[in-house]
Amino acid sequence: MARFPLALCLALFAVALRAQTPPAPVLAGSIEGRNYVSPTGVFKIAVPVLPELGGEITDTPNVVTFQDAFNVHVTIAAFPQDATQRWELSTRGLKDYLIYFFSNFVLADFKQTFAGVQIESAKFLPGTLDGTLLTYILIPGGTMFGNRVPAIADDRIPVAKRGNFVFVRSGHIFVVSIELAERVIEGKAYAKTVAEEDELLRNRLADIANKIQFAKSPAADAAKK
């Protein structure tokens, strides 16, 4: 079975990004006007961060991270489906395939990187991107905004919360992941309910997903239906 070093990329990109000093590394992808274009050309997206707000971009051939100095941390991963993944999709059906992929690759890799990771909830959205798995996970010590966490008297480890969209498009498995920064940077002033957190993350994920322009691949998209 192929392995996708996904969560490790998602987690460590931001750590590496915060440690960078100018000049920034050369991107594997490219910037065309206001758009980031992935190295494989499978997608492009209007850059969701501004240099004036500390916005930076870090990428590899399959994962790009956008982060600013305030509250934005977005990753978009796009992995080509090999023969095994295409077979899993064709035999399981889309909903079960997305659950399988998230559990065996995304969640499993987060658990290898951070102790105590939990899936808070998950829901299949058939009307979003032709079928999307929406998940919320809690990650003790996994915030990408560690430099902005207020000091807490009892030294509790902040628990980050990430929302994730997992879907298939253009022969690739996509994972869009966003951290709810307010949960860790507002300290004792933070008072949102779980339902409010979920709505915020879902709206932010939808906003990012709706801005992605995918490469045309009708045959690949038809294969997943």
pLDDT tens-digit readout, 31-74: 999 999 999 999 999 999 999 999 999 999 999 999 998 999 99
pLDDT above 70: residue 83: yes
Q: What CATH number corresponds to the domain at position 111?
A: 3.40.1000.10
Q: Which domain holds residue 179?
A: 6-223
Q: What is the pLDDT of residue 24?
A: 61
Chain centroid to CA 219: how far? 26
Residue 105 included in any domain: yes
pLDDT above 70: residue 2: no
Residue 1 included in any domain: no
Report the alpha-carbon angle 36-5-112, nearest 5. Answer: 130
pLDDT above 50: residue 19: no
Q: What is the pLDDT of residue 16?
A: 42
β-sheet with 118-125: strand ranges across? 56-59, 63-67, 73-80, 172-179, 159-169, 132-140, 118-125
DSSP-based three-state secondary structure for 133? strand
The pLDDT mean for the chain works out to 87
Return d(Cα 172, Cα 82) in angstroms, integer. 9
C-beta separation of 142 from 161 below 8 A: no
Average pLDDT value for residue range 177-193:
93
Question: Structural domain tally of the chain?
Answer: 1
Regarding beta strands 43-46 and 35-37, do their DSSP bridges make them parallel or antiparallel, or are they unpaired?
A: antiparallel
Q: Which of 79-83, 145-149, 184-188 has the lowest mean pLDDT?
A: 145-149
**Maximal CA-CA distance, the chain:** 57
DSSP-based three-state secondary structure for 96? helix
Average pLDDT value for residue range 67-88:
95
- The DSSP code sequence of 24-43 is PPPPSSEEETTEEE-TTSSE
What number of other Cβ atoms are within 10 A of residue 190's Cβ?
A: 13
